[in-house]
């Protein structure tokens, strides 16, 4: 349980080329801005939670923090989402949770993402816990030294030893299908 690789969605070269051509059509300047990123994924009129989640994703891929994704950042993001292995996806998830970038997750950071996820998808699932209860359980299972912070190694180990934690921490278990489905909506 949890030790095995998650199923990796297959995407062929033609689909990647199509996504790259779409980038060039959408961003002839070579820079993808947040509002364009949201438009690509059809989030303009969606809920505030989905918008915030996409902003968090966008900023996690903006490695030089210039508030745009250049072509290389875009390709790296696609590669991670569409072809990344479990370890890479978990490291990316950790980065998404780690809002202040200090390499440790505190309860505030974890609750922030859980609240967003709860409103987007956990609330409609069979989850019978509140965001606070989810956060408490997560810290119970993952925070090995009980210091109120989760390091990357605790995050990785916790995800791999507990299936419930794994499903929560990897954020989007079907990322490739989501990207392909939403990108195909772009005219």
pLDDT of residue 3: 36
Domain-located, residue 153: yes
Radius of gyration of the chain (CA): 17
The CATH number covering residue 164 comes to: 1.10.238.10
For residue 136, the enclosing domain spans 86-169
Q: Indicate the number of domains in the chain.
A: 2
88-133 pLDDT, tens digit per residue, is 888 888 888 888 889 999 999 998 888 887 777 655 566 678 888 9
Q: 139 - beta bridge partners?
A: none
From CA 29, how far away is CA 45, in angstroms rounded? 25
Q: What is the pTM of this model?
A: 0.69
Do 114 and 75 share a structural domain?
no
Q: Which DSSP string do the residues of 30-76 spell out, in sequence order?
A: SEEEHHHHHHHTT-TTS-HHHHHHHHHHHHHH-TT-SSEEEHHHHHH
């Amino acid at each position: 349980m949890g030790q095995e690789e998650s199923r990796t969605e297959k995407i062929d070269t033609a689909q990647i080329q199509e996504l790259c051509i779409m980038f060039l059509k959408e961003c002839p300047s070579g820079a993808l801005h947040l509002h364009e990123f949201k438009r690509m994924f059809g989030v303009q009129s969606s809920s505030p939670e989905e918008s915030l989640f996409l902003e968090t994703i966008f900023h996690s891929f903006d490695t030089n923090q210039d508030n745009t994704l250049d072509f290389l950042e875009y390709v790296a993001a696609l590669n991670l989402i569409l072809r990344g292995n479990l370890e890479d996806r978990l490291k990316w998830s950790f980065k998404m949770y780690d809002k202040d970038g200090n390499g440790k997750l505190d309860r505030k950071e974890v609750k922030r993402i859980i609240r967003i996820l709860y409103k987007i998808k956990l609330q409609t699932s069979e989850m019978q816990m509140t965001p606070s209860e989810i956060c408490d359980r997560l810290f119970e299972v993952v925070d090995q030294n009980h210091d109120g912070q989760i390091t990357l190694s605790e995050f990785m180990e916790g995800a791999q030893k507990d299936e419930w934690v794994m499903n929560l921490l990897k954020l989007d278990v079907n990322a490739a299908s989501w990207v392909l489905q939403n990108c195909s909506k772009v005219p």
